[in-house]
Amino acid sequence: MRTRGLVTGFVCMAALGGVGCAASGPAFQKVTAPTGKSVIYAYRSSSIMGAAIQPAVHCGSDSAVLSRGGYHPFVVDPGAVTCSASTESTAEVNVDAKPGEENYLRESIGVGFFVGRPHLKVMDKQTGEQEASDCKLQ
């Protein structure tokens, strides 16, 4: 009986151990897009909600996995750029990328049936810049 309790405790601690994993790269810095290109900053808040779930975010032909508190700059061609993330469901948004402009895309994880579901939202520049400034490069 005591062994069962120890095993259960160990499993719980091991499962929660991954919850604290957060981005550990350099602090947020804007990138300079080459002439005729646009930048989409995909970022994820440091919220503990869904911290163990890290679906890849795809924008155009590039992708990046974001930990909580992480961001990734996607340098893209102008036009409609489809960004997506998937677990048991897929979130997809279109970003209207204009040459020389910055766009901000917030990823969050919500409740799912078996695993957390990704949510993507295009943010206005002021809000996106403010929220992404707390993130670290992935």
The tally of domains found in the chain comes to 1
Quick check: 9 pLDDT over 70?
no
82: in domain: yes
30 vs 7, more confident: 30
Q: Which domain holds residue 130?
A: 22-137
Predicted confidence (pLDDT) per residue in 20-48, tens digit: 457 778 999 999 999 999 999 999 988 88
17: in domain: no
9: in domain: no
| Cα 56 from Cα 44, distance rounded (Å) | 12
62: in domain: yes
Domain holding 123: CATH number? 2.60.40
Evaluate the CA torsion angle 94, 99, 103, 105 in order and state its sign: positive
pTM of this structure: 0.82
Predicted confidence (pLDDT) per residue in 38-95, tens digit: 999 999 988 887 888 899 999 999 999 999 999 999 999 999 999 999 999 999 999 9
86: in domain: yes
| Cα 119 from Cα 131, distance rounded (Å) | 16
